[in-house]
Amino acid sequence: GLQAIRCPPGLYFDIEAQTCNWKDQVNNCNKKNKDRRAKPLLATEEPICQEDYLACGDTTCIPRKQFCDGTEQCADGSDEASCGLYFDIEAQTCNWKDQVNNCNKKNKDRRAKPLLATEEPICQEDYLACGDTTCIPRKQFCDGTEQCADGSDEASCDINNDPNRAPVCNPEICTIPECFCSLDGTAVPGNLDPQKIPQMVTLTFDDAVNVANIELYNEIFNGQRVNPNGCGMKATFFVSHKYTNYSAVQDMHRRGHEIASHSITRITWPVEIPHVFQGSSSVMALSNVLMAQMRLPVVSGFCLHFGMDINNDPNRAPVCNPEICTIPECFCSLDGTAVPGNLDPQKIPQMVTLTFDDAVNVANIELYNEIFNGQRVNPNGCGMKATFFVSHKYTNYSAVQDMHRRGHEIASHSITHTNNETFWSHASIDDWAREMAGSRIIIEKFANITDNSVVGLRAPYLRVGGNNQFTMMEEQAFLYDSTVTAPLTNPPLWPYTLYFRMPHACYGNLQNCPTRSHAVWEMVMNELDMREDPTFDESLPGQF
Ligand SMILES: [Zn+2]
């Protein structure tokens, strides 16, 4: 998922500034660590420190939460030495420097496209045309090897374009028990009514089974937690080899759990943070939560997440009631796609909200001037405006003042923008107030904004802060948040008020969405539909 991304696509991590930036602004891209500091001892066979502590490079133990918190507590600084990620332009994701070997590339190569949809076929049967009109066998398209001279056979391979793509579901051919499919994936085998069948939850755990988690697993599977039919609760353990205690795995299998493969080499992400700690800290929450309150665990690549589910929070927000919730104070709809005023979605123009995050300074002012040069206007002739979610560090407030003067909206994006992403998920109400109301005070004072127009905020790294964030927003009189993202839907979602329940699932494995009523608007971010032009993102330097 996108949740772990530290740098938006196209940006590089500046290890000195500890922030993402344009490549030509980052001149330390070949440095792995600030000042080549000692590494912490995180992945030792036996833990060096007691629970919730981790070892510095010199084996002293400090609290785990002091790692990567922006302050060096280890004498050798090693607690802050393994925190920076780099952007992998090929993989379109952030990774540790030694995993990224294309650090000097700024753009993904633009490859030629195959000629698949020509009016008359160019090639004989079972052959298709490369971008240069040469014909190669159809099965060589999207096979992972470039056979066209221009590489175009591998350049258009998503599920809508791969010439060898799988057929759509055919329930006539595909029958239980050998096969099951449905067009949207939600049909129930045997055509049962989803309302009438019990929810099934698959409990899974990833990575090494060893001293760091065996006790926890014993606690979870202590025989007290049973299925409605009285049978004991079982799980699937996806076991990776390194650090695994196989006699413990044998015991798990003996007790009826399923064992499954999760690789020998344990291609870790991120490599220097041990899975066992990541995993156990999240799973830890489970032991304190009744099974009935447990949310379906989702695998996020390296840890499981359990949180308060909007369907189970006893104080959850009510479902949308359009009788009570009326424009302009309130707007909601059950699935989020209704249009205010009951207008027909087909008949209203598409609205696009343009937003920019982080510091405004010499690194981007010219770009903003270029974008907002007055040439780009709305269909009604009014100039194009944007919202700038401004973080404090490195911000030039006279530039912010100028943006505001020119009609753009200024909003809060925190003071510290701390790169400890989990901080934002679990920050207290006071922390949120310090960061966001504090940021607003600074903006208003330094950029001399006196019209009370700083009313919105966005959490760093798009980490939704749950009920704490939104409680703070009410207390501090923020009007809207723009951190929540929604899965791809057609039509996309409208902004909604969080007095009523969110009209879509909490999107993103690591997100902590609000469950309760808050008098706050959500300017929800809809996922960009890339299917019309899969190459669209190549020219986009940032993420929406
Ligand atoms: Zn940011």
Q: Which amino acid is residue 57, in one-letter code?
A: G
Ligand 1: distance of its center to the CA of 420 in Å? 12
Ligand 1: distance of its center to the CA of 489 in Å? 25
Q: Are strands 19-21 and 12-14 parallel, antiparallel or unpaired?
A: antiparallel
How far is residue 479's CA from residue 221's CA, in Å, rounded to a whole number?
A: 45
Ligand 1: distance of its center to the CA of 19 in Å? 9
Ligand 1: distance of its center to the CA of 331 in Å? 28
> Which residues, other chains included, contact 112 with Cβ-Cβ below 8 Å and sequence gap of 6+?
130, 131, 132, 148, 150, 151, 152, 155
Ligand 1: distance of its center to the CA of 457 in Å? 11
Mean pLDDT calculated for residue range 235-245: 86
Ligand 1: distance of its center to the CA of 8 in Å? 9
Per-range mean pLDDT, top range of 32-41, 78-87, 286-295, 316-325: 316-325
Instruction: From residue 77, give the alpha-carbon distance in Å to each of 60, 73, 74, 83, 433.
Output: 11, 7, 5, 12, 30
Ligand 1: distance of its center to the CA of 357 in Å? 5
pLDDT bracket for residue 300 (50, 70, 90) = very low
Ligand 1: distance of its center to the CA of 413 in Å? 7
Ligand 1: distance of its center to the CA of 513 in Å? 18
Ligand 1: distance of its center to the CA of 458 in Å? 8
pLDDT confidence of residue 285: 31
How far is residue 122's CA from residue 147's CA, in Å, rounded to a whole number?
A: 17
pLDDT bracket for residue 274 (50, 70, 90) = very low
For 114-157, what is each residue's pLDDT tens digit?
A: 888 788 888 988 899 999 999 999 999 988 888 999 889 988 88
Ligand 1: distance of its center to the CA of 459 in Å? 7
pLDDT bracket for residue 278 (50, 70, 90) = very low
pLDDT confidence of residue 71: 79
Supply 353's token pair.
Answer: 């909200």
230: pLDDT strictly greater than 60: yes
pLDDT confidence of residue 492: 87
pLDDT bracket for residue 268 (50, 70, 90) = very low
How far is residue 502's CA from residue 491's CA, in Å, rounded to a whole number?
A: 16
For 51-72, what is each residue's pLDDT tens digit?
A: 888 888 888 999 887 877 777 8
Nearest to 133 by CA among 118, 115, 121, 151: 115
Phi, psi dihedral angles at 254 (to 5 degrees): -60, -35
How far is residue 1's CA from residue 508's CA, in Å, rounded to a whole number?
A: 7
Ligand 1: distance of its center to the CA of 347 in Å? 35
Ligand 1: distance of its center to the CA of 450 in Å? 24
3: pLDDT strictly greater than 50: no
pLDDT confidence of residue 298: 28
Ligand 1: distance of its center to the CA of 431 in Å? 17
Ligand 1: distance of its center to the CA of 398 in Å? 20
Mean pLDDT calculated for residue range 474-481: 93
Supply 428's token pair.
Answer: 């207290």
Phi, psi dihedral angles at 6 (to 5 degrees): -100, -45
291: pLDDT strictly greater than 50: no
Looking at per-residue confidence, does 31 or 249 come out higher?
A: 249
Ligand 1: distance of its center to the CA of 433 in Å? 17
pLDDT confidence of residue 185: 85
Lowest-pLDDT range of 76-80, 212-216, 302-306: 302-306
Supply 47's token pair.
Answer: 């833990």
* Residues pairing with 205 in the sheet: 237
Ligand 1: distance of its center to the CA of 425 in Å? 14
Ligand 1: distance of its center to the CA of 359 in Å? 8
Looking at per-residue confidence, does 300 or 393 come out higher?
A: 393
pLDDT bracket for residue 436 (50, 70, 90) = very high
Contacts of range 429-435, beta carbons closer than 8 Å, 24 or more positions apart: 429/468, 429/471, 429/472, 429/475, 431/468, 432/465, 432/468, 432/469, 432/472, 432/473, 433/472, 433/475, 433/476
536: pLDDT strictly greater than 80: no
Lowest-pLDDT range of 75-84, 355-364, 394-403, 413-422: 75-84
Ligand 1: distance of its center to the CA of 278 in Å? 24
Ligand 1: distance of its center to the CA of 110 in Å? 28
How far is residue 484's CA from residue 504's CA, in Å, rounded to a whole number?
A: 10
Ligand 1: distance of its center to the CA of 490 in Å? 28
Instruction: From residue 421, give the alpha-carbon distance in Å to each of 9, 242, 424, 464.
Output: 18, 27, 6, 10
Each domain of the chain, given as residue ranges in start order, spans 1-35, 165-271+278-522
How far is residue 283's CA from residue 262's CA, in Å, rounded to a whole number?
A: 18
Looking at per-residue confidence, does 381 or 3 come out higher?
A: 381
Looking at per-residue confidence, does 298 or 150 come out higher?
A: 150
Looking at per-residue confidence, does 24 or 218 come out higher?
A: 218
Per-range mean pLDDT, top range of 216-230, 437-451, 489-503: 437-451
CA angle 65, 69, 70 (to 5 degrees): 160
pLDDT confidence of residue 16: 65
Mean pLDDT calculated for residue range 300-314: 47
Ligand 1: distance of its center to the CA of 206 in Å? 30
Ligand 1: distance of its center to the CA of 485 in Å? 15
Ligand 1: distance of its center to the CA of 355 in Å? 11
Supply 533's token pair.
Answer: 């032009």
Ligand 1: distance of its center to the CA of 463 in Å? 10
Ligand 1: distance of its center to the CA of 15 in Å? 16
Q: Which residue has the tokens 């007290």?
A: 224
pLDDT confidence of residue 239: 86
Ligand 1: distance of its center to the CA of 417 in Å? 6
pLDDT confidence of residue 197: 81
> Which residues, other chains included, contact 274 with Cβ-Cβ below 8 Å and sequence gap of 6+?
42, 43, 212
Supply 494's token pair.
Answer: 């409208």
